[in-house]
A = this chain, B = another copy of it.
Amino acid sequence: MLSRQQLIQQIKQKKSFLCVGLDTDIEKIPVFLKEYPDPLFEFNKRIIDATRDLCIAYKPNAAFYERHGVTGLQSLIKTSEYLPKDCLSIIDAKRGDIGNTSGMYAKTFFDKEAAGMDFDAITVAPYMGNDSVIPFLAFEGKWVIILALTSSVGSKDFQYLETGNGPLYETVIQKANTWAGADRIMYVVGATKSTEFTNIRKYAPDNFLLVPGIGAQGGSLKDVCQYGMTKECGLIVNSSRAIIYASNGEDFAEAARAEALKVQQQMQAELEKAGVI
């Protein structure tokens, strides 16, 4: 479990605000791993070992594990146990339901006694409002990362709708700010919309923003930092495919490290430029 201060300390120490997305796809991992008893976990373990000093967070995407049923869930549980304690562990699950059901999802991912997992943070969909989010906040010290502005084509359908009080994604942020502070809530903000960061920072000056769209989804790290970085960094930038699938040979972990190192070095430059370190 990482508090806001511990997270900021990790960022300063590692000179990085990189989150490695563990979107571990059985179709894309090196073929030789399929001979291991748990290929998804074996892949994750080697990626983690190769990158843990270069990143401050890991984010397994639940769907990539759930699609394998029981064995996939076992891989996810093993991965969650293996994640280093000095990194923020985020389950990208995008859950959201009425209060008592959200409470069950909170147990699933936050309570090791319940389902074997003990993530620090979860992504949550806001459509169903306060009672879909608050049960997650009931777990002391855990983070809730609320979808605000996402990075794919579908974000245009509803998130930009004018609500009389700015676009919907801004209204989501304003409302969610009344549920908890920047020590408990982060927002997902897609990196393909760098100019919108200025706007978002009006309403979320201190919150950490989880930025998913760097790399395969095409966002620019420079733009994100120019418009989104705060004096305490305030950004966690995710990269999944560009790092974890840098090679699909025996050298995949070294290749992932090389990619992560490139990103970390760019991040260090940005942190220095902004005076965070």
Contacts and interface: CB of A to CB of B under 8 A. Distances in A.
Question: By CB atoms of chain B within 10 A, which of A77, A92, A132 has the most?
Answer: A132
Oligomer: number of copies: 2
Interface residues of A, number: 58
A74 interface: yes
Interface string A107-147: 11000001111000000011111111100000000000001
A168 B157 contact: no
A91 to B, nearest CB: 11
A125 to B, nearest CB: 5
Contact of A131 (B104, B152, B172): B152
Interface stretch (A44-52, A64-72, A246-254): A64-72
A177 interface: no
A128 B105 contact: no
A99 to B, nearest CB: 6
Contacts of A101: 23, 61, 63-64
Interface string A222-255: 0000000000000000000000000000000000
A181 B249 CA distance: 45
B114 A131 contact: no
Interface of A: 23, 61, 63-64, 66-70, 72-74, 77, 92, 94-99, 101-102, 104-105, 107-108, 114-117, 125-133, 147, 150-159, 161-164, 168, 171-172, 175
